[in-house]
Structure 1
Amino acid sequence: MNIENIESFVYINHYGSFNKTAEALFLSQPSVTARIQTLERELGCRLFDRIGKQVVLTEEGRKFLPYAQEMLKTLQKGRQHIRRSEKLPQELRIGSTISVSNYLIPELLPRLHERCPGIHVKLTTGGTDDLVKRLLAGETDVAFIRKVMHPSLRTAAFYEDPIHLYVRSDHPFADEESVSAEELQERKLVFFECGTLDWLRIHRAFEALESPPEIAFHVDNSETAKKLILRGAGIGFLPAVCAREEVREGRLTPVRVRELSEFALQTSLVALRQDDSAITRQLSSIFGDLVREGELAASPFSGHGDEDVLRRSKPQSGISRALAR
């Protein structure tokens, strides 16, 4: 029985989608489907049913799931046991975008130092294009940046951060469960632009309006955008990790816009293709621990339990495997 088929089965149960599983495992959707079909033939039963757009476990799938999960855990423990003896570098040169540097790195690095106390970290903050150049020049070991496609680089999906509309907590919208795009047309927007493709969805939601919202401030820094919103200069769309402290303190409130389906900014962990260092596995493992322990998983909306939070803001699986290819 192929362990990769079992892995796909567990991932589909986690993500509830063949497509999302394919993205996480860096496979095509037909490849994931073929894996499940092979596993079903070996077991002699169906493992999933489709209910509308949802994929759910059959009764046989539910029975097999704990055994599949245990097999993957056992394999992971074996890998970890072998890797404990791997020599780590004395200095780790990390590159990251501004948002990762501001909100994730301060929680990631202390954990890394606990596990690898002999490592000295040198952090460089910059844009994706600049950090790609540093990777290719050998000036940076790993980088947390937007997804890139380059023959000399390995890219693994790392973190998905949902984007929401945020208002100051004394704003009239703060008491609303959701608002329409039309209700925003008389409001001033603080527009934080961090990626053209990501923000096209926001623009499209306003295209049909007679009077689109006024973009009073167009900025390229999330902290600047957040502080303008906190000062009452306008309302704006922000990545959830950027506003989690202010939401927790009751100073900012996330608001759903009915015309906008949920979307997110994605960060990838990128390294040179020939690099097979143990440090990338440590980084992915530490980040996964942070999310499981709830340190990075704070739901922007009330009424969501921990399970939903982990679904909304989570590290992407398969990092070590993807970077090791």
Structure 2
Amino acid sequence: MAEPRISFDALAAFAAFADTLNLTRAAAALHLSQPALHAKIQTLSRELGRPLYEKVGRRLVLTPDGEQVARFAREQSDRVGRLLDDLRVTPMTRPIVLAAGHAAYLHVLGEVIRTTLAERPGSLRLLHTNRGEMLDAVRAGRAHLGVSVLDAIPNDVVSLPVATYPQVVLVPEAHRLARRRTVKLKDLAGEELVVPPQNRPHRVSLERAMRAAEVPWTVAAEIEGWPLTVHYAALGVGLAVVTGCVTPAAGLVARRVTDLPQVTYHAVHRRHAGDDPRVAALLTAIRAAHTTPTSRSRRAPSTC
């Protein structure tokens, strides 16, 4: 029996579809008609002998086989792109995709992104994701590199620490705790805090720590994202426990909470993605922009 033959054209078409799970948008991006794109995907599915997507309710979703094929297709597209760059003697010209959340973009990656884009305009494409979405994007090949705080280190991707910060409490300059260099959780007893919505990782870990220390506190407001959290703390709504790289607003001071664990941001990529010189260069720049976790842990809390 002859081995199935898979065309790169069909793989590229399926990768575009997998990124949107929308035949109309994918066809437009490829400058194809929707029937032509559908035919390419059906041919690929028939050649592989596997269904690649299915309809669930009103949505199209990839099958497990489809996820695997999409990941392979993206990797092949990257390899072909790098080959073409090398043949044109213009390496590292294709953009790499970086996935991270609001806090990482603002406080960990901002300067690296600014410098990278100043030196090589168009060399980055940024995906805004939460922690789970970042890992999904990296695993599926939709992102070359992801950056986030991780609760647990996954074993199916490469994970490297890039920056570690203490946790600090933001208090008004006139607050009783502003006179302290550091505080403990017990010092927050009875305080009203500006916190993330329930079930967010930071909220969960803070509640767990306060409960273990038997510290009573109340919710002043539930706010999504560090910028609004800092803003409402500056308005006097309540105190806020944040990562130490967050810059206090005018009228606030940051005091390290010594019995809360430090927070480490990790860069995550697929096992062979580090062979891509574009990914390696970006990862080197990110790690070089921050001190090592060991040296940072010995310092007082500061901004990024």
Q: Same fold (TM over 0.5)?
A: yes
Tell me the equivalent position of 1:271.
269
Identity %: 13
Q: Could you tell me how far apart the structure 1 residues matched to 2:193 and 2:203 are?
A: 17
Q: What SS class does the counterpart of residue 92 from structure 2 fall into?
A: coil
Residues 1:131 and 2:134 aligned together? yes
Shift of 1:118: 6.0
Tell me the equivalent position of 2:259.
261
Q: Could you tell me how far apart the structure 2 residues matched to 1:279 and 1:165 are?
A: 38
Which of these residues, 108, 113, 135, is aligned with residue 109 of structure 1?
Answer: 113
Structure having the higher Rg: 2
Tell me the equivalent position of 2:209.
202
**Over aligned residue pairs, what C-alpha RMSD do you find?**
3.5
Which of these residues, 166, 175, 179, is aligned with residue 175 of structure 1?
Answer: 179
CA contact (8 A) 2:164 2:297 kept: no
Which of these residues, 186, 191, 194, is aligned with residue 190 of structure 2?
Answer: 186
Q: Could you tell me how far apart the structure 2 residues matched to 1:88 and 1:241 are?
A: 31
Shift of 1:262: 4.8
CA contact (8 A) 1:185 1:214 kept: no
Shift of 1:104: 2.6
Tell me the equivalent position of 2:94.
90
Q: Could you tell me how far apart the structure 1 residues matched to 2:224 and 2:144 are?
A: 26
Shift of 1:167: 0.5
**Structure 2: which 5+ residue stretches go unaligned?**
1-88
Amino acid at match of 1:191: V
CA contact (8 A) 1:153 1:271 kept: yes
Shift of 1:88: 2.1
Q: Could you tell me how far apart the structure 2 residues matched to 1:314 and 1:190 are?
A: 20
Q: What SS class does the counterpart of residue 232 from structure 1 fall into?
A: coil
Amino acid at match of 1:153: V
Amino acid at match of 1:240: G
Q: What SS class does the counterpart of residue 243 from structure 1 fall into?
A: coil
**Structure 1: which 5+ residue stretches go unaligned?**
1-84, 298-304, 316-325
Change (3 A) 1:223 1:145: same
CA contact (8 A) 2:163 2:287 kept: no
Which of these residues, 200, 210, 217, is aligned with residue 213 of structure 1?
Answer: 217
Q: Could you tell me how far apart the structure 1 residues matched to 2:287 and 2:135 are?
A: 24
Q: What SS class does the counterpart of residue 224 from structure 1 fall into?
A: helix
Tell me the equivalent position of 1:285.
284
Q: Could you tell me how far apart the structure 1 residues matched to 2:269 and 2:287 are?
A: 19
Shift of 1:265: 1.9
Amino acid at match of 1:271: H
CA contact (8 A) 1:159 1:314 kept: no
Residues 1:225 and 2:229 aligned together? yes
Q: What SS class does the counterpart of residue 124 from structure 2 fall into?
A: strand
Q: Could you tell me how far apart the structure 2 residues matched to 1:95 and 1:180 are?
A: 34
Q: Could you tell me how far apart the structure 1 residues matched to 2:265 and 2:287 are?
A: 14
CA contact (8 A) 1:142 1:270 kept: yes
Amino acid at match of 1:168: P
How many residue pairs align between the two structures? 210
Q: Could you tell me how far apart the structure 1 residues matched to 2:267 and 2:171 are?
A: 31
Amino acid at match of 1:251: G
Change (3 A) 1:107 1:118: closer
Tell me the equivalent position of 2:242.
238
Change (3 A) 1:254 1:149: closer
CA contact (8 A) 1:189 1:213 kept: yes
